[in-house]
Each structure stands twice: as structure tokens, then as C-alpha cells.
Amino acid sequence: VERISTPLIISHPDRWRSRHRPIIPFDIGKPSPQEQRALWRDALAEKGIEADGLVDRLVSQFNLSLPAISAATATAQGDVLDDAELGRALWDAGRAQARPRLDDLAQRIEALATWDDLVLPEAVIALLREIAIHVRQRTRVYEHWGFASKSARGLGTSVLFAGASGTGKTMAAEVLANELQLDLYKIDLSSLVSKYIGETEKNLRKVFDAADDGGAILLFDEADALFGKRSEVKDSHDRYANIEVSYLLQRMEAYRGLAILTTNLRSALDHAFLRRLRFIVRFPFPDIAERAEIWRRIFPEQLPTEGLCVEKLAQLDLAGGSIRNIALLAAFLAAEEGTPVRMHHLLRAARTEYAKLEKPLAESEIAGWTSVVSSST
């Protein structure tokens, strides 16, 4: 390339650096929102469909190229009967077009949980609903109402979920993804962090760039492993570790979608990092009344049960994740015996869960169980 004297056109994701010959760079990005609106309208018009209101919603969420828009339109046409079905079909087709790049970098979670599955204080539920509103209305507030013209910084929606393991952080992320009809991707931090200088930033850039196409929800689970307190610079490794955190903060602020970080230890996060988050949601350990409600909701309707006492089960001092493990193991034990799920199955499963947690099962937690277990056997 350096020696050839003829004109050259080089296409590359990054800027090309030449040592000798002059280079004229042209930055060519995805179509602008206005161009994407025109592309959606033209693609739909070819199919005989007029949907201006729907086009605005699609452009606000997806950042697609011409081939992707054409493919989404062709996929969604199918056997559409009315405007509502057309809207859902186009939305799902847009999500599908945005997936391939991100599927290679993160784990997609099928979001099945709903608001009814969450057992949390009303204030926490209200804050989660505010996050959903923030994501749903961001185009109107930032673009139509002009907030984006005031500053290009801080337009992303960054959220911290802080709480003990099993208190519902991942389920809450599923609920938001289900509510917003967006894909949820769990980021494996161990696959992103590299000991080689600059590699972690490259890996993070790939994730955010891929997610930008569809505004997917990114879930950085147990984020304190990467987003811990920035160390004092004592050597070059400390300096580059701080650069990684700074790069992540920059990308999160610029990301057009929702990024959720979960941590078991809120105190392990740097204050400068917390200041740049849009929302901080604290997931408390459930009290006995909330544990009773979790037990009431944990069993599927089709599951056969007999003689269960929710009040006794709520004495177990456990979070929702462990409660689910106990309920699931008890169901397997009952299935093996060919009987409904009974209290003695749950007691046996509880002992297994406590042993796994290396936690003693106190007598106070199973006080009064003897008569209930005896009657269930």
C-alpha cells in the first residue's frame, strides 16, 4: 500500500495510519435517524404499508443499515392482519436484525419474568418503573424536546442494582426487558478483562458497538469485579486499570440503551463511578412477610402440592434465589416419589440448600415444623 503510486480506496472499521503517503479520511457511519426514517418509509411503501407513527418508534430504538431495514420489513410482512400485529412483527424483526453481532459476544437471556414475579418494597418497584419510563420516553425528551442539544454527554441510562445474592437483581432486569420488549444480554466480565494493555478496552468497545444496533439491555453481573474502587497509581498496571474504568464510564454515558450493573457490595464501587450513574436501586434482604409472599408465588399453578404451610416456610432466613432452589429441589424429590410436594420434601431440600451455602439451619427457623412435616408424611 505504501509503495503503490495509483489512487487507493481503503475501507476499514478504524482510521488507517500511513507513514509516507497522504491519506484523506472519510468517516462513514450508519444512516442518521432522518435517513433511517426515510429508509423505513420507503421499504414499507414498497409493501404497500403506511406507518409513520410506527417508523418513529422503530428509529428511536434501532440503529440499522439499509440491508437490515429491508430484511426486517420483508421478515415482518408475513401474514400481518392489523396495525397492532404489524407493529409487533416489525419490532421483533428489528430486534432479530440487531442480534447477530452481540450473540457472539454475550449471553442472551430469554426474559420471561413480569412485574407480578417481583416481591420487593413498593419504593423499589416504583423506581424500577421510572427506569422503564426513562428508556421508553428517551427519544421524546432528548430529541423532540431538545435536551440532547444542550449536551451530548450523559444521554445513556446507566443503572446500578445493589443487594445481596438472590434478592432479585437479575429478575428485575428480566422484568425491564420484558416490559420494554428488548433483548437482555448478560456480559461475562471474565471474557472481557485481559492482562494485556488495551485489550480490555477493545473488548468493551466490541460489546457496546454491537449493542448500539438494537439498544439491547446490557447486564454486567457482579460488576464490582471490574468496576471496583480505582486504585492509587503506584505502577503502570494501576494506571492502565484506571484507564479501563474511565473508558467504561465514557462508553456507558454514550450508550443509547440501558446498561445495568449488579453488585453484592455497593461499598466496593468508586464514588466517582456512582456519581455518573443515572439510577441506583437497592434490593433489600426480604423480611418474613416478603418471604411468605415469595413462597406463595414460587410454585407453578400446575404443580401438585399438599399440606404446605407458607407461614412456616417463611421462617427460613433466605433470599428469593435460595427459596427458588428449595422449591425446585422439593419438586424433583416429590416427582421421584410420585407424590405431591409436601413439607417433608421442602425440609429435605432446605437442608441441602443450607449445606450448599455452608450455613447452619437454626432450630428457630424450623420451629413448629415437626407437626406439619409429620402430617405431610
Q: pLDDT tens digit string along 219-231?
A: 988 776 665 544 4
User: Is the pLDDT confidence value at 182 over 50?
Assistant: yes
With contact defined as beta carbons under 8 Å apart, do 179 and 136 qualify?
no
Helix, strand, coil proportions of the chain in percent (round to 5)? 55, 10, 35
- Whether 216 and 182 have beta carbons less than 8 Å apart is answered as yes
Lookup: cell for 181: 420488549
Query: Between 305 and 19, whose confidence is greater?
Result: 305
CA distance readout (Å), 54 to 40, 83, 86: 10, 9, 9
Grid cell, residue 37, equals 426514517
Q: What is the pLDDT of residue 377?
A: 61
pLDDT of residue 94: 86
Band of the pLDDT at 334, cuts 50, 70, 90? very high
Give the separation between CA 316 and CA 319, rounded to whole angstroms. 9
Question: What's the order of all strands across the beta sheet hosting 279-283?
Answer: 107-109, 184-187, 217-220, 258-263, 157-163, 279-283
Q: Burial level of 343, CB count in 10 A (0-12/13-18/19+)?
A: buried
Q: And the C-alpha cell for 215?
A: 439498544
- Terminal CA-CA length for the chain: 81
Which residues touch 191 (CB under 8 Å, ≥6 apart)? 203
Select the more confidently predicted residue: 290 or 245.
Answer: 290
Q: Where are the alpha helices (DSSP H) in 140-261?
A: 147-150, 169-180, 189-192, 199-212, 236-254
**Is residue 189's pLDDT more than 60?**
yes
Choose between 323 and 264: higher pLDDT.
323
Amino acid making up residue 84: A
Q: Under a CB-based contact definition with an 8 Å cutoff, are residues 172 and 281 in contact?
A: yes
Query: Can you tell me the distance from the alpha carbon of 131 to that of 337, in angstroms, rounded to the nearest whole number?
Result: 45
CA distance 35 to 41: 10
What is the structure's pLDDT at 236?
44
Neighbouring C-beta atoms of residue 201, cutoff 10 Å? 19
> Measured between alpha carbons, how far is 188 from 193 in angstroms, rounded to an integer?
9
pLDDT digits (tens, 9 = 90+) for 2-28: 778 888 888 887 777 777 778 888 888
- Other beta carbons within 10 angstroms of residue 167's beta carbon come to 25
Q: Which residue has the cell 429478575?
A: 171
Give the Cα separation of 131 and 159 in Å (integer).
Answer: 8
Cβ neighbour number for residue 20 with a 10 Å cutoff: 7
Please report which helix (H) or strand (E) contains residue 259, including its range: strand 258-263
> Which amino acid is present at 41?
R
* Element (DSSP H or E) covering residue 51: none
Main-chain dihedrals φ then ψ at residue 222, nearest 5 degrees:
50, 55
Average pLDDT over residues 361-367: 86
Grid cell, residue 155, equals: 444521554
| Residue (of 5, 2, 59) closest to 32 by Cα position | 59
Bridge partner list, 263? 162
CA distance 337 to 29: 62
The pLDDT tens digits of the residues spanning 44-96 come to 887 777 666 788 888 888 888 888 888 888 887 765 556 677 788 888 888 88
